[in-house]
A = this chain, B = another copy of it.
Amino acid sequence: MVKTLQTLIETSRRQYRTMTEMVAATLREAIIGGALGSGEMIRQDQLAAAFGVSRMPVREALRQLEAEGLVEFLPHRGAVVAELKPDEILEMCEIRSLLECHALKKAVPTLSEDVLRRAECVLDELDEENDVARWGEMNQRFHMTLYDNLRGTRLYDLVAAQYQHLDRYIRVTLTQLDYAGKSQAEHRMLVAACRAGDPDRAAEVLRAHLAKSAGAIAELLAGQQALAGAQR
Asked if A98 and B95 sit within 8 Å, CB to CB, the answer is no
Q: Which residues of B contact A18 (CB under 8 A)?
A: 75-76
Q: Which 7 A-B pairs have the closest CB atoms?
A: A67-B67, A17-B75, A64-B67, A63-B63, A60-B63, A63-B64, A67-B68
Q: Closest Cβ of chain B: how far from A71's Cβ, in Å?
A: 11
Inter-chain CA distance A4–B158, complex, in Å, is 31
Q: Which residues of B contact A21 (CB under 8 A)?
A: 75
Whether, in the assembled complex, A102 has its beta carbon less than 8 Å from a beta carbon of chain B, the answer is yes
User: Which residues of A in the span 61-83 have a Cβ within 8 Å of any Cβ on B?
Assistant: 61, 63-69, 75-76
Inter-chain CA distance A155–B67, complex, in Å, is 16
Inter-chain CA distance A66–B165, complex, in Å, is 18
Minimal Cβ-Cβ distance residue in B for A59: B60
Whether, in the assembled complex, A153 has its beta carbon less than 8 Å from a beta carbon of chain B, the answer is yes
* 30 CB < 8 A contacts A-B: A17-B75, A17-B76, A18-B75, A18-B76, A20-B63, A21-B75, A56-B56, A59-B60, A60-B60, A60-B63, A61-B63, A63-B64, A63-B67, A64-B64, A64-B66, A64-B67, A65-B67, A66-B67, A67-B67, A67-B68, A69-B157, A88-B153, A91-B153, A91-B154, A94-B155, A95-B154, A95-B155, A95-B158, A98-B98, A154-B165
Interface size class of A (residues with CB under 8 A): 20 to 34
Q: Among A60, A61, A69, which residue has the most Cβ atoms of chain B within 10 A?
A: A60
Interface residues of A (CB under 8 A from B): 17-18, 20-21, 56, 59-61, 63-69, 75-76, 88, 91-92, 94-95, 98-99, 102, 153-155, 157-158, 165
Q: Among A61, A64, A65, which residue has the most Cβ atoms of chain B within 10 A?
A: A64
Q: Which residues of B contact A91 (CB under 8 A)?
A: 153-155
Q: Closest Cβ of chain B: how far from A40's Cβ, in Å?
A: 20
